[in-house]
Every structure is written in C-alpha cells, then in structure tokens.
Amino acid sequence: MTTTESFAKQSLTDHLTELRSCLIISMVAVAAGFALAYSFIRPIADWFFRPLIQVLPEKKTLIFISYQEGFFFI
C-alpha cells in the first residue's frame, strides 16, 4: 500500500491528529531555530553591518532614527 492510499483511507480524526503532530513539530523547529539565531545575534549583526561601518567617516557611528530600530540588533 502506498502512502497516498494510506492517507486516503484515514478518518478525519486521524488526519487531524497527524496535522496536530506536524504543527507541533514545526513550531518546535521554528522555536529552536529562533533560539539558535538569537544566541548568535552579535556576530550576525557585526557581519550584517560590516560593509556599512567600513565606509563610515572616521569618528562616526551608526544612529537609529526611530525608537524601534534600536531593538533589531541588541
């Protein structure tokens, strides 16, 4: 029996149970990816801003023009 045939023979509750498990696994994977990326926020920010910082005039720094911009790379 192929996978398509086994899906066709499942009841609605079986489909919903499988959907729930897939959604839980997806949410755990997204949360783990977010935690991993957030743990490396400084190196990512340094890599992202390196070209801009290299062309800034001497003794100048980056500024943020709105309140929420400062929270993107804490």
Binning pLDDT at 50, 70 and 90, where does residue 73 land? low
pTM of the predicted protein model:
0.56
Contact (Cβ atoms closer than 8 angstroms) between residue 39 and residue 33: no
Instruction: Output the six-digit token pair for 33.
Output: 């990816």
Which segment of 21-25, 43-47, 59-63 scores lowest on mean pLDDT?
Answer: 59-63
Q: How confident is the model at residue 48 (pLDDT cuts 50, 70, 90)?
A: confident
Alpha carbon separation from 61 to 58, 65, 73 (Å, rounded): 9, 13, 15
